[in-house]
Amino acid sequence: MVNERAEYGVIVASCQNGKPLLKPFPQKNILVSDDENFIFASQVARMLISSKRRLNQDENSKERIERLDSWVKEKLPNYLLKLGNNLTDWEKDITGINTIAKSMTKTREEIKRITINEIALELREI
């Protein structure tokens, strides 16, 4: 960020283990993401940059930019925490649904096997 004079940075960390996006240092504009959610993290940074650029073109730009910077430091980390918690719960639900679906598929196959075996046995007895 220093070399490129970047206002925001995105760090992709393999240790995030499915945590989509964090802003661990509220005073710095660094977003941390895992490799699966890098695009999402980049889009958030892009939206922030775009908002700041748009605000620079307004008449009261200084005041509004200060409000944006304050929002990024104070509120954005809370939104990202909520997002991370919801996505974690969502992943748990998906895992549960997949487990149930596998069990249902296995049960269906067992029902087919039993039914076909019973039909075949009865047909042989006729």
Confirm whether 4 is domain-assigned: no
The answer to whether position 89 is within a domain reads yes
pLDDT the model gives residue 21: 63
CB contact burial 8-47 (16+ within 10 A = b; e otherwise)? bebeeeeebeebbbbbeeeeebbbbbbeebbebbbebbee
Q: What is the number of domains present in the chain?
A: 1
pLDDT at 23: 66
Is the separation of the CB atoms in 21 and 41 below 8 Å? yes
The model's pTM is: 0.52
Q: How far apart are alpha carbons 3 and 87 in whole angstroms?
A: 34
Instruction: Report yes or no on 110 lying in a domain.
Output: yes
Does 1 fall in a domain?
A: no
pLDDT digit string (tens) for the chain, length 126 residues? 878 888 888 878 777 566 656 666 666 777 778 777 778 778 888 888 888 888 777 667 778 888 888 888 888 888 888 888 888 898 899 999 999 999 999 999 998 888 888 888 888 888
CA angle 83, 86, 87 (to 5 degrees): 85
Would you say residue 3 lies in a domain? no
What is the C-alpha separation between 28 and 9, in angstroms, rounded? 9
Residue 18 forms part of a structural domain: yes
Whether residue 82 is contained in a domain is answered as yes
Residue 92 has which token pair?
């748990």
- Kindly state the tokens that stand for 34: 């895992």
Range of the domain at 23: 9-125
Does residue 81 sit within a domain? yes
Per residue in 1-12, pLDDT (tens digit) is 878 888 888 878
